[in-house]
Amino acid sequence: MSEISEIPVKTGPRNRRIAGADPDKRRQILDGALQVFTSRGFDAASMSDIAAAANVSKGTLYVYFEDKEHLFVDLIQRERETQKRGAIEALNEDSDPVRALSKFGFCIVRVINDELAVSAHRVVIGVAERMPDLGREFYENGPMLGSRLIARYLDRMVAEGKLAIDDTYLAAVQFLDLCQSTLTRPRLFNAVRTPPSEDEIRRVVGEAVAMFMARYGRGAGSQPASR
């Protein structure tokens, strides 16, 4: 409450590093927090554990992060950001939908089933009830964004006459779900403790592409089936 808000805090007094502003140390803390949060979940992760895992004193922890929740949110946003970058650059602009979808599907499924990503997923879903904003933010800037990206690509393919799709967003989500069939769900429930092999991924993604093309490739009925 009684802060020194009079003094020009913008930069350090002279040329000195500021209270909690060392980006390396910040990263260091987030790395430790990632370990602890993903291996124990939000509630069971204690701030002391995190401080220890990060090789940082508890005091410093609270210099860099306001409280446990802020630390967690910042961490999740960082992880989501790295995923986002990976996904965006994976969607190359191949004009052959089969090649493009295969490549993208493979990349994104590998990322999603990575140890860390699955753990983060679990934790976010686990707290989604108590922290709906975080859940929504994570969803919209993660899975939903990926779907949007694919949908845009599909739009172009439709415009070029290479695919026949009515609802490209739905089609994009369908494709992503197909790419993950039998792979991601058991990992979420921790029924399978290791990421799928690259061969497994390739096989499932191949089947996904096959199914997708059977439905939306040229020369397939394009309207919804009987109701």
Contacts to a second copy by CB under 8 A: 38-44, 98, 102, 119, 121-130, 132, 135-136, 138-140, 143-144, 167, 169-170, 173-174, 177-178, 180-182, 185-186, 188-191, 193, 202-204, 206-215, 220-221, 224-227
Whether the CA torsion 210, 211, 215, 219 is positive or negative: it is positive
Buried (b) or exposed (e) across 111-137, using 16+ Cβ within 10 A? bbbeeebbbbbbbbeebeeebeebbeb
Residue 183 and residue 88 in contact, taking contact as beta carbons nearer than 8 Å:
no
Please tell me whether residue 11 binds DNA under the rule CB under 7 A.
no
C-beta of 49 vs 155, nearer to DNA: 49
* Pairwise CA distance, residues 83 & 69, whole Å: 21
Site string for DNA, 52-91 (x = CB under 7 A): ---xxxxxx-xx---xxx----------------------
Closest alpha carbon to 111 in 73, 140, 80: 80
State which of residues 27, 44, 132, 166 lies at the interface with DNA (CB under 7 A): 44
C-beta of 48 vs 92, nearer to DNA: 48
Q: Which residues bind DNA (CB under 7 A)?
A: 12-20, 22, 25, 43-48, 55-60, 62-63, 67-69
